[in-house]
Structure 1
Amino acid sequence: MNTEPLLQVTNLRAYLASQRGVVKAVDDVSFTLGHGEAMGLVGESGSGKSVMSRAIMGLLPRRADRTGSVRFRGRELIGLSRKEMSEIWGPQISMVFQDPSRSLNPVVTVERQLTEGMRKHLGLGRSQARTRAAELLAEVGVSDPERRLRNYPHEMSGGMCQRVMIAVALACEPGLLIADEPTTALDVTIQRQILDLLRRVQRERNMSMILISHNLPLVAGRTDRVSVMYAGRLAETGSTRQVFDAPRHRYTHALLAATPTIAHRRHSLFQLIPGTLPNPVQPPSGCRFAARCGHASGPCHEPGPAMTMIAEGHHVACANPVAVPPAATATATAGTPGGDAGGR
């Protein structure tokens, strides 16, 4: 059994040049991802989640500065040329983007978009690739796959296009799938179908996955671990059960409290997080959530809390973490670490 992490990110920084200055979109982020593990990456819009996924993939703009270390299967990815990365995109790491209407080529058939990668990376012939493409469409729940191969993206619904995007991402049997907000602009029913599909495929193929979303309930029951990101940094990481049952960082706690639930009283106000994200060009020193936190104290501002392990597999960067409720402690002791959390 391979004990080395599939993906190891260490002190990753991704700085983007802009008219206002250098945007510190990802600032000193470290985490590992095991073989066959599903990790959720959550946080408000603008936290740096999508930029981090592109930094891992090496898909940042030309004017971006990427430093730190990204090791995949023991190989350092930072510093590789675009030609070298093109051999990794598809057969080793694939990505499902937010908007399939902009990711799929509108003037190319589904068949060609599915088979190009297989013919290049797997060496399949035209007939073999077409057969495999039809099988992939069936696997991701596309009805009448033979007919759909002849379609263009505009001839299909948004949910169907997203299924095609997933099939494209799976075509070359990657070891890691990054799904960046894969249910954007889809209705609630289709959202659930797409996320359940991703989880099922990930388990059946024993593939690792990073599921990026600002919607915590969508991540809750479909990942093994969760990392909470705020203003370019990780605030909390742990098993899905640990983080959702007993959030310790003040930001995670506030984020979950602001999430609508079925038990919310009709016409009552939602519990909002005051303030806004800090300026990404000039972020504050110390904890970046301190200005919005009602429990901030001196150590939060200077030098700021470091990521600290507070339980097995559970790390938090908070000087005044939330106390663990007794019920959550009992649940964590009885539960299986890293297992699925129930949907919220």
Structure 2
Amino acid sequence: MSRTLNEGPGTMHTPPLLEVTSLRAYLSSRRGVVKAVDDVSFALDHGEAMGLVGESGSGKSIMSRAIMGLLPRRGDRTGSVRFKGRELIGLPRKAISEIWGPQISMVFQDPSRSLNPVVTVERQLTEGMRKHLGLGRSAARTRALELLGEVGIPDPERRLRSYPHEMSGGMCQRVMIAVALACEPELLIADEPTTALDVTVQRQILDLLRRVQRDRNMSMILISHNLPLVAGRTDRIAVMYAGRLAETGTTRQVFETPRHRYTQALLAATPTIAHERHSLFQLIPGSLPSALQPPPGCRFAARCAHASGACHELSPEMVAVADGQLVACANPVTVPSSTKAKGDHDGR
């Protein structure tokens, strides 16, 4: 799954920063085994930003935790998660904890639950730097002030002495981002980082993440149920449905020429300024299938108007439909030849 840099004899390949192969994350419950993530494979390059999108309950957050090794006690993961060529599944807890922070970091959905309410911002920012980077108290404090400034927090000197409850939700999320960036990670996973924030603050936070990602040439996985939120802030998109990937491609490909019926339905159900006043949105009928007993065949088949008999029986494999675009659909959306030629020419 490495990317080709040059063509012809002597082709050089750069291995991806993160390579996920046949990843499964199953959770035990009183009702049975929940197949939250079921055979997912993808790769993320150095300095690349990927959007992971899909309806709530599609398995996006569980997959991020499976990558990090943060599943609950009743959770189990199988497959392969290779970071910089090193297999993470099966590593002892101590070895994994050395990767958290300086190599892979995460911004969680709700900062009010992730930040310690009885510990100052300064301590929460400096602890990781002192442990992983070996900085002294003064150096760590100086670095903390720089980080607060970088994420746009005014009067950082005062905020270092603050507790989470003394700040707004948007400011707490900025602190969470600063904490995640403190040890200079190579990969940042942002799991629904704008949950419960107003629209203006959402945009500020997402623009901040994109700017920091580009400035640091850091890889990022941006998780959201809202497709427009990842547009313009990612290089590539992976669409997830019922524990599996439905489609992957460049952001431009997925938005301009979606090939999976689910991706097409998601985009059609998204409000845009072009919608006429009082017009109805094209809602996706039905609901996600049960993760306890996933149906055979394509998991979107029961909600798809174009499903055939085979769709209910055979599970589709991810296949290439364009350069860099893969789809798991037996009856993908047809793209006009002129559009296809333009996309192939652009290579984006």
Name the TM-score class by shorter chain. over 0.9
Report if the CA contact (8 A) 1:246-1:325 is conserved.
Answer: no
For 1:212, give the aligned amino acid.
I
For 2:284, give the aligned amino acid.
I
Report if the CA contact (8 A) 1:299-1:305 is conserved.
Answer: no
Shift of 1:266: 1.0
User: Superposition pairs for residues 47-196 of structure 1, below 5 Å?
Assistant: 47-196=58-207
Q: Say which SS state the counterpart of residue 328 (structure 1) adopts.
A: helix
Shift of 1:118: 0.1
Shift of 1:335: 3.5
Give CA deviations for 1:34-70 in whole Å, capped at 9, x if unaligned.
0000000000000000000000000001111110000
The count of aligned residue pairs is 337
Residue segments in structure 2 that go unaligned for 5+ positions in a row: 6-12
- Structure 1 stretches (4+) deviating beyond 4 angstroms? none
Equivalent residue number for residue 229 of structure 1: 240
Give CA deviations for 1:14-53 in whole Å, capped at 9, x if unaligned.
0001111100000000000000000000000000000000
Equivalent residue number for residue 302 of structure 1: 313
**Residues in 2 aligned to 1:218 and 1:325: alpha-carbon distance in whole angstroms:** 27
Equivalent residue number for residue 340 of structure 1: none
**Residues in 1 aligned to 2:251 and 2:151: alpha-carbon distance in whole angstroms:** 25
For 1:26, give the aligned amino acid.
V
Equivalent residue number for residue 12 of structure 1: 23
Equivalent residue number for residue 261 of structure 1: 272
**Residues in 2 aligned to 1:294 and 1:101: alpha-carbon distance in whole angstroms:** 42
For 2:248, give the aligned amino acid.
T
**Residues in 2 aligned to 1:284 and 1:269: alpha-carbon distance in whole angstroms:** 30
Report if the CA contact (8 A) 1:236-1:316 is conserved.
Answer: yes
For 2:88, give the aligned amino acid.
L
Give CA deviations for 1:262-299 in whole Å, capped at 9, x if unaligned.
01111111110000000110001110000000110122
**Residues in 1 aligned to 2:46 and 2:96: alpha-carbon distance in whole angstroms:** 21
Equivalent residue number for residue 257 of structure 2: 246
Equivalent residue number for residue 295 of structure 2: 284
For 1:135, give the aligned amino acid.
E
Give CA deviations for 1:104-140 in whole Å, capped at 9, x if unaligned.
0000000000000000000000000000000000001
Q: Say which SS state the counterpart of residue 277 (structure 1) adopts.
A: coil
Shift of 1:304: 2.1
> Given the alignment of the two structures, is residue 322 of structure 1 paired with residue 333 of structure 2, yes or no?
yes
Equivalent residue number for residue 341 of structure 1: none
Q: 2:32 aligns with which of 13, 16, 21?
A: 21
What is the RMSD of the two structures over their aligned residues, measured on CA atoms? Answer: 1.2
TM-score, normalised to structure 2, is 0.95
Report if the CA contact (8 A) 2:145-2:157 is conserved.
Answer: yes
When residues 219 and 181 of structure 1 are mapped into structure 2, their CA distance, relative to the original with a 3 A threshold, is same
Shift of 1:4: 0.7
Shift of 1:329: 2.7
> Given the alignment of the two structures, is residue 39 of structure 1 paired with residue 50 of structure 2, yes or no?
yes
**Residues in 2 aligned to 1:46 and 1:254: alpha-carbon distance in whole angstroms:** 17
**Residues in 2 aligned to 1:335 and 1:151: alpha-carbon distance in whole angstroms:** 49
Report if the CA contact (8 A) 2:322-2:344 is conserved.
Answer: no
TM-score, normalised to structure 1, is 0.96
**Residues in 2 aligned to 1:279 and 1:109: alpha-carbon distance in whole angstroms:** 42
Residue segments in structure 1 that go unaligned for 5+ positions in a row: 338-344
Shift of 1:328: 3.4
Give CA deviations for 1:73-119 in whole Å, capped at 9, x if unaligned.
00000001211111000000000000001100000000000000000
Report if the CA contact (8 A) 2:323-2:344 is conserved.
Answer: no
